[in-house]
Amino acid sequence: MDLRAMRYFIAIVDQGSLTRAAEVVCVAQPALSQQLAALEKELGVPLVQRGAKGVKPTEAGRTLYRHARNILRQVEIAGAEVRVAGTDVTGMVAIGLPTTAAAAFGMPLIRVVRARYPQIRLQLFESMSGYISELLDHNRLDFAILFRDVPSRAVELERLASESLYVVGTLPVARGRGKARPQASTEGATVAIKALADLPLVLPSGSQGLREVVELAFAQAGVPMNVVADLDSLPFLLATAREGLACTVLPASSLSEADSEVPRHLIVPELRRTLSLCWPRALPRTSAAEAVAEVLRELVAGRIAAGGSLKPPPMADQ
């Protein structure tokens, strides 16, 4: 099995069609079909299922696809590292940022990297944390900033900061007591987590880091949750709370000045989530990725020093 065969197979899976894949890799379709047949013969298993709507990978094909992408990525990294050895830091750096982290650090990161490392090309992916985690697990990113506190077999992490979580929304309305005047959004307002039992909530879906933090806290406190909708959209979460349809749980960094009138209460005992720098264990760290990661560390440290919602990270054993 050579690199060309891997590239051809990746194109077949990505396109879902031998005809389209042949166009992408610029070979005749019969030749591509022969390459696929030779690969299946070499490995001794069928790699795709052919049907009227195209081709789909088998379980063996999905396994090969995952490994092939990783291998080609590492070959690309190795070539870039060799070419730039002894020269200025350069290369592509793919980074994943959840929406709130992108809002806080995206533009400052681009600005500093452009000034300090003009030969580095950034590729930024902004999405909900569940999708960013998926990209990271499949080695599609050099690293990511995620709100998670536990490493895994595929990902190692470095804790950078933490922030408190608030219940956002008008509590009397959310508890079904009828229309009420909006509550004052005072800085020191608090609510006990036990008082949130059965409170109608809208939260990100189960694959998102924030949802995991909230579910764990409620479970540890023995408080029943009443999630009425899963919303993987920060604007929808805020709009639902603003309209008094349900409450949500968010950090202060997710609330803009426009949301200053939306009631919020700090959850006590204090509930915090951890902001971490996450690296895929299967990929080598390039000098360019290390340089960009150091810029992010500086930006986060600057936010902590300036005060506000970001605080130092918890100790490793907490």
Identify the pLDDT of residue 135.
Answer: 92
Q: What is the pLDDT of residue 184?
A: 44
- Output the 3-class SS for the chain: CCHHHHHHHHHHHHHCCHHHHHHHHCCCHHHHHHHHHHHHHHHCCCCEEEECCEEEECHHHHHHHHHHHHHHHHHHHHHHHHHHCCCCCCEEEEEEEEHHHHHHHHHHHHHHHHHHCCCEEEEEEEECHHHHHHHHHCCCCCEEEEECCCCCCCEEEEEEEEEEEEEECCHHHHCCCCCCCCCCCCCCCEEEHHHHCCCEEEECCCCCHHHHHHHHHHHHHCCCCEEEEECCCHHHHHHHHHCCCCEEEEEHHHCCHHHCCCCEEEEECCCEEEEEEEEECCCCCCHHHHHHHHHHHHHHHHHHHCCCCCECCCCCCC
Q: Is the pLDDT of residue 258 over 70?
A: no
310 falls in which pLDDT band (50, 70, 90)?
confident
- Whether the model clears a pTM of 0.85, i.e. scores above it, the answer is no
Amino acid 183: pLDDT = 45
Beta carbons of 274 and 81 less than 8 angstroms apart: no
Rounded average pLDDT over 47-68: 91
For the chain, the average pLDDT equals 86
pLDDT, one tens digit per residue, over 150-180 is 888 889 999 999 999 999 998 854 444 433 3
Which residue, among 56, 43, 62, 63, has the nearest Cα to 17 in the 3D structure?
56
Rounded average pLDDT over 139-152 = 90
More confident residue, 310 or 260: 310
- Tell me what percent of the residues of the chain surpass a pLDDT of 70: 89
pLDDT band per the 50, 70, 90 thresholds, residue 149: confident
Contact by Cβ (8 Å): 163, 251: yes
Pairing of strands 143-147, 272-280: antiparallel
- Strands 48-51, 248-251: pairing kind: unpaired
Domains and CATH numbers, the chain: 3-81 (1.10.10.10), 87-162+274-305 (3.40.190.10), 163-273 (3.40.190.290)
pLDDT in tens, 84-122: 655 578 889 999 998 888 988 999 999 999 999 999 999
pLDDT 10s digits, 177-224? 433 334 444 456 899 999 999 899 999 987 777 888 899 999 999 999
**Per-residue pLDDT at 146:** 92
What is the pLDDT confidence band of residue 62, given thresholds at 50, 70 and 90? very high
Question: Higher confidence at residue 198 or residue 83?
Answer: 198
User: Is the pLDDT at 26 greater than 70, yes or no?
Assistant: yes
For 272-301, write each residue's pLDDT tens digit. 889 999 999 988 899 999 999 999 999 999
Q: Are 125 and 132 in contact (CB under 8 A)?
A: yes
pLDDT for position 99: 84
d(C-alpha 54, C-alpha 109), whole Å? 42
